[in-house]
Chains A and B, each alone.
Chain A
Amino acid sequence: MNDLARYVGALIVALLVPLCVSAASASEKIPVVATFTIVGDLVRNVGGERVSVTTLVGPGGDAHVFQPTPADAAAIKRAKVVFENGLGFEGWLERLIKSSGYSGPRVALTEKITPLYREPDQDHGHHHGHHHRDSLGAIDPHAWQSLANGVLYVEAIKEGLCAADAAGCPIYEKNAAAYIAKLQALDEETNARFASVPESKRKLITSHDAFSYFAERYNLEILSPEGMTTETEASAHDVAKLIRQIRKHNIVALFVENVSDPRLIKQIARETGLKPSGRLYSDALSAAGGPADSYLSMMRHNAFAVADALDGGS
């Protein structure tokens, strides 16, 4: 009996030792939380091997209507830094942080960007350089849709990680510099691609109004059948108005985007004889292996899909 107990004890120790070791090696990494997939990808690129990133809203999820779970609160509690987009994008984060008891630093990545405003009248905004800054206009939080802003995001992440882990700072700086170089290269490549698209053709439609920063960067005009969030149901009035706009402006590019109802876009396409041009990614990366499984691939996919659609129409 005694032997058996000793044997079992040894067995338990033998099983636990590797667990403890692996837990110890995991805890050497700096635990951080990113609110959604795009922020998570950026943080991973800057943090590299030194940080372990927990992303709250997973691939394909809609960060506008996210429902946190207790596991999310636990991840925040353990974190050394919480990275968020800011500009009111993660409305649920405030309460989640409070309830998790987290008191560490929060880094809003949009701190340094110049926010774009929507017209107060949600009337299918024209994003074409002129932006009304009326007090009533709501801020568009989707600032990551411009690669220039992406650079500012990366710098904010670098500073946040350096503040939390001074020892790793040189590594973060090196990673950030390398990643920013990639972003700038893609930005130049994208600019060169759009340079070949005539000014008169730079109009497109997507089902989710999240591309005002993208539109400003590459001088495009974006029309949308729905309002700012995915919450509102379109009225017949809105759809009719959009169809008239497509006919009037001779729009050739129509995109279904990954979080709102694609059926409505298809209906509009059928009505106007347009061909839906595929999918743009706005608020969430695709699952690994998809066309937009990282920030870089998402931005490349979006830019080239738009440019090809604009060129392809006659």
Chain B
Amino acid sequence: MFLYDALLAPFVEFSFMRRALAGCIALSLSAAPVGVFMMLRRMSLMGDAMAHAILPGVAIGFLLFGLEILPMSIGGMLAGLLVAVSAGLVARGTALKEDASLAAFYLISLSLGVLIVSLKGSSVDLMHVLFGSVLALDDEALIVVGAAATISIAGLSLILRPLVAECVDPGFLSAMHGPGTAAYLVFLMLVVLNLVAGFQALGTLLAVGIMVLPAAAARFWMRRLFGMIGVAVLVAIISCVLGLLVSYHWRLASGPSITMVAGGLYLVSLVVGPVGGVLWQLLPLRHRAA
């Protein structure tokens, strides 16, 4: 009975909790695998930069069409893609490395976003407007998040082969591919798509968290790629469920709660994870046995 009250009752009693869970799980299914590839390609920090780059597109969508999820999402997609592709092209065609060119473009994009919003002359709290709330997912938002997840999973399976090749064999990457290849561009699109969906579902910049943290946690549990993806998805889903329950029972803001649970799971994995976890390194015997 206690377990029922603690774990199930909130979802049974309230449809907003079920909607929050549905949106968040859809996002977990698509964002966590993308996060694994970002980690393997050493692009985890890029997610954060891209999340900022999306803002001006969302802001323009909001200014032109008001609080409508579709124009805001499409605007965010376009802005994110523009920044990602420009950064890739500059990194490919000039002496500037990709991190620096991405930093440059996302800062331009972010400042443009802040400028655009200030043009409107009112200082209505930006964060309330540009980000959704996991507690306020309506049908339209759920459809957008679900569609983004579906496209993302389909897209990822299409480019799986070249992506895996790059991850497994860095020499192959440098010989055959570089920033700017088709697979890479599709991958960037998927990153942006998941970030835009994450804004709507998690409601903050912390949307990057559901992408990066489960992947980082999974690294300590599995050696093989598909195992890692499975664990990452699992960690993300657990974070959604526990995060919403924490927000429900302890009265904490929902988006950050979900990301914090994912962060906690990462820290636990860091310590006890069998693949290179701190505890296993301190116990050489058990390490060998594993």
Q: Does A230 contact B (CB under 8 A)?
A: yes
Q: Which residues of chain B are within 8 angstroms of A230 by Cβ–Cβ distance?
A: 125, 128
* Residues in chain A near residue B132, CB distance under 8 A: 263
**Residues B15 and A62 in contact, CB atoms below 8 Å apart:** no
Chain A contacts with B in 226-256, Cβ cutoff 8 A:
230-240, 243
Task: State whether A234 touches B253 (Cβ < 8 A).
Answer: yes
**A239–B135 touching, CB < 8 Å:** yes
Note all chain B residues with C-beta closer than 8 A to A270.
15, 138
Residues of chain B at interface, number, CB under 8 A = 36
Contact A262-B67, Cβ < 8 Å, known A61-B123, A239-B16: yes
* Contact yes or no, A61 B203, CB < 8 A: no
Q: Is the CB of A233 within 8 A of B136?
A: no
Contact of A67 with B by CB under 8 A? yes
Tell whether A261 is near chain B: CB-to-CB under 8 Å.
yes
- Contacting pair B137 A267 (CB below 8 A): yes
| With A234-B253, A240-B13, A267-B138: A58-B248 Cβ-Cβ less than 8 Å | no
| Total number of A residues with any Cβ neighbor in B under 8 Å | 32
Cβ of A263 and Cβ of B133 under 8 Å apart?
yes
Q: In the complex, A59→B124 CA distance in Å?
A: 11
Nearest-Cβ distance from residue A19 to partner chain B, whole angstroms? 26
Q: Which residue, A61, A67, A266, has most C-beta atoms of chain B within 10 A?
A: A61
A268 to B129, CA, bound (A): 18
Asked, given contacts A235-B252, A239-B135, whether A267 binds B123 with beta carbons under 8 Å apart, the answer is no
Residue in contact with B244 in the complex, picked from A61, A66, A236, A259, CB distance below 8 Å? A236
- The one of B122, B138, B251 in contact with A263, judged by C-beta atoms closer than 8 angstroms, is B138
B contacts, CB < 8 Å to A: 10, 13-17, 19-20, 67, 121-125, 128-129, 132-133, 135-138, 141, 203, 244, 247-257
Given contacts A260-B128, A267-B135, 7 further A-B contacts (CB under 8 A): A57-B123, A65-B125, A235-B253, A236-B135, A259-B125, A264-B135, A267-B136
A residues near B (Cβ < 8 Å) are 57-62, 65-67, 230-240, 243, 259-264, 266-268, 270-271
